[in-house]
Amino acid sequence: MTSPAHAFANRRIHPSVKVQTQWDFAPVIRASMADMYYLPPTHITELGWCLGGVINLTPIELACQLGDSVFAETKAGYDPWLAAPAIQRVFGFDPNERLAAVHGYQPISVSPRTDTTNKNRQLHWLPFADNEQQLRGQNVQKRFNLKQMTVELIHSDYDGFVQQMQAQWQYGYQRTVDYIQQHKL
């Protein structure tokens, strides 16, 4: 399968995607959390070095090719001072341009002649772009370390971390339930 992100960074992102149908969840979860400048990539023997973050959080084109119904979250734009330059340097493309393309993506309708299941492909955008405002104080804070030229995460203690995760989970859960009820899905 062709990687949609290859067009944005053809010298840094492989042109093809290998779809795995069976995997060990632990390394996959670690890879999905490995975000450049914060956490190192994870090596998975069958795949090589894997990195989460920008590309893996918005594989809309691939998800729509593989599934009949896809639920995706809207996202706020990338910070122009820290996130956007870091992503530009690592991947070689402007993440806000990619995000605009992702948010504007519409799946191709499946022809009734070629669709033996009689299902229409649907892309559902969940309203999460305002999460920073809604979860103010419940997000992980970041700071730029000039001496080491790195971005650092500012962690709270364990109890604070648990509260942050519960607030984020509850926000996402409630928004998803509201969307499903509103659209009678």
Least confident interval from 27-36, 39-48, 144-153, 169-178: 27-36
pLDDT band at 178 (very low <50, low <70, confident <90, very high): very high
Distance CA 76, CA 70 (A): 19
Task: Output the pLDDT for position 115.
Answer: 52
Neighbours of 91 (CB within 10 A): 20
pLDDT in tens, 125-169: 898 888 778 877 766 677 777 887 777 777 778 888 888 888 888
pLDDT band at 37 (very low <50, low <70, confident <90, very high): low
Burial call 29-54: b when 16+ CB within 10 Å, e when fewer: ebbeebbbbbeebbebeeeeebbbbb
Distance CA 108, CA 58 (A): 17
Task: Output the pLDDT for position 168.
Answer: 86
pLDDT band at 118 (very low <50, low <70, confident <90, very high): very low
- Is the Cβ–Cβ distance between 33 and 23 less than 8 Å? no
Whether 56 shows a pLDDT value over 60: the answer reads no
Instruction: Give the alpha-carbon dihedral of 2, 51, 140, 29, to 10 degrees.
Output: 90
| Percentage of residues of the chain with pLDDT beyond 90 | 7
Task: Output the pLDDT for position 173.
Answer: 94
Q: Which residue has the higher pLDDT, 61 or 178?
A: 178
Whether 57 shows a pLDDT value over 60: the answer reads no
The CA-atom distances, in angstroms, between 173 and each of 22, 144, 162, 176 are 27, 31, 16, 5
pLDDT band at 67 (very low <50, low <70, confident <90, very high): confident
E-assigned strand segments in 75-146? 122-126, 141-145
pTM of the model: 0.62
Task: Output the pLDDT for position 165.
Answer: 83
Phi, psi of 161 (to 5 degrees): -65, -45
The overall longest dimension of the chain from CA atoms, in Å, is: 62
- Is the Cβ–Cβ distance between 38 and 153 less than 8 Å? yes
Q: Spell out the domain ranges in the chain.
A: 130-185
Instruction: Look up tokens 């956007």; give the residue.
Output: 84
Average pLDDT over residues 116-121: 54
